[in-house]
Amino acid sequence: MKLWGGRFAKETDALTDHFNSSISFDARLYKQDIIGSVAHVIMLGKQSIIKEEEAEEIKAGLLSLLEAIENNEVTFNEKAEDIHMNIETLLISRIGEVAKKMHTGRSRNDQVALDMRLYVMEEICTIKELLHDLMEVIVKVAKEHTETIMPGYTHLQRAQPITFSHHLMAYFEMFKRDYQKLGFTYDMTSSLPLGSGALATTTYPLDRDHVAHALGFNEVCGNSIDGVSDRDFCLDLIYNLSLMMMHLSRFSEEIILWSSHEFHFIELDDAYSTGSSIMPQKKNPDIAELVRGKCGRVYGDLMGLLATMKSLPLAYNKDMQEDKERTFDAIDTIKMCLPIFTAMLNTMTVRKDTMYKAASGGFTNATDAADYLVKKGMAFRDAHEVIGKLVLYCVTHSKDLENLSLDEYQAIHPIFEEDIYEAISLITCVNERKVKGGPSKEAVTAHLHAADTFLNNL
Ligand code: ARG
């Protein structure tokens, strides 16, 4: 018997039951649904909308049902449509008539909005912890490499020397922003929809502030129509997760490049690599590739839900049942990617020598050579021209700036002196960039210190 069967003269078709049902994917909301119902009935009792003893009886029934679900003693039924009606049906069968009072002054529309908000808030806390672990590992590895010189790239062409620490800390900044955005999304989500009813609240004297307080919400949704039809909080979260996946995919891409034979900057631990079924020599960065690939999937979740929500008239529409799989998929994906990515990063070996060698060829110190001339009084644009000529000379004679003789330098311009070699050494190039946010050991150490402070205060 359907909980809403009264108005119907015949049974729904089996196809309808199957198509309409969401229990196969919203079953995971059982805890939020029960906790929300407990807060609701306690408030109903307090407001004398139902008797306090009835509220207590329903609460006890709900908590014992929660335990039964967690002990795997309960099977949900597709015919009961969704988690909300499954729980209510089960409760009626377990504690009898009194359970039928639970849904007083409530609709599934505000109930599902509540469950989703509670779920999103809880998952944000979990994801923040995973992100915290990742940031900690980034800082740990970065601390070991404040003197590990590598080429920095633009256009994937060697540009200027930096340190591996400086490079890693760029990712720290991205994940720090992600962390902060999750906090903002949490605050946006922390607004209680329960009490909105189907769309126009109710005539019962509900105490919404009491329920909000009991469930840990910061406030009550200010408009009941918006309360039941808003899914911005799901979209905010999936957008945050899309950015996070984008950052992980860029990092993965670099890890894939760096572990190639051509770069050979790092070696991934065997525990986080895979082999080939045909080529015995292969060691593949599958984990990084999968993380990179799963980024597209989370973008798909974002686009999918945006498309679902587009043009929906107010207030609730069944289309919105589609919010769940998109939101759950994005959450599940990030929760799979973050821990394995963190472990992969934590165990990789860094090839300092190859990094240094790569920074040495390729004229990464050409800007510093130009700056050397500027410090001797030449205008930067003229210095750029002189060094450009030097680089052309080196390219045609297969030489580097470091191994030109002073005669060769002076043949291009007499201003060069013996101190040019010191000025363009990679270590000078890196450590003279003491500007805040720069690659010098001094600047990166200050950044690492700020990062520690940030992490310790979370
Ligand atoms: N399973 C539904 C969902 O996820 C619950 C709300 C149903 N409300 C309704 N009026 N049919 O959106």
Domains annotated for the chain, with CATH where assigned, are 11-104 (1.10.275.10), 109-147+161-208+222-354 (1.20.200.10), 358-456 (1.10.40.30)
pLDDT in tens, 304-318: 999 999 999 999 999
Residue 271, strand partner residues: none
Provide the pLDDT confidence category of residue 103 given band limits of 50, 70 and 90. Answer: very high
ipTM over 0.90: yes
pLDDT in tens, 26-58: 999 999 999 999 999 999 999 999 999 999 999
Cβ of 108 closer than 6 Å to ligand 1, yes or no, is yes
pLDDT exceeds 90 at position 98: yes
Cβ of 436 closer than 6 Å to ligand 1, yes or no, is no
Is residue 397 among the annotated active site residues?
Answer: no
Average pLDDT score over the chain = 96
User: Pick the residue with more confidence: 2 or 388?
Assistant: 388
pLDDT in tens, 52-63: 999 999 999 999
**128 Cβ partners below 8 Å, 6+ apart?**
179, 182, 183, 458
Q: Which of 18, 24, 276, 449 is catalytic?
A: 276
Cα–Cα distance, 8 to 128 (Å, whole number): 47
pLDDT of residue 2: 82
The model carries a pTM of 0.95
191, 217 contact by CB (below 8 A): yes
Closest ligand 1 atom to residue 83 Cα is 1
Provide the pLDDT confidence category of residue 276 given band limits of 50, 70 and 90. Answer: confident
Cα–Cα distance, 297 to 294 (Å, whole number): 5
Mean pLDDT on 102-110: 98
322, 308 contact by CB (below 8 A): yes
Q: Which of 12, 16, 106, 108 to mutate to test the pocket of ligand 1 (most atoms within 8 A of CB)?
A: 108
CA 167 to ligand 1 centroid distance, Å: 47
pLDDT of residue 453: 98
Burial of 389 (0-12, 13-18, 19+ CB in 10 A): exposed
Cβ of 259 closer than 6 Å to ligand 1, yes or no, is no
Is residue 155 among the annotated active site residues?
Answer: yes
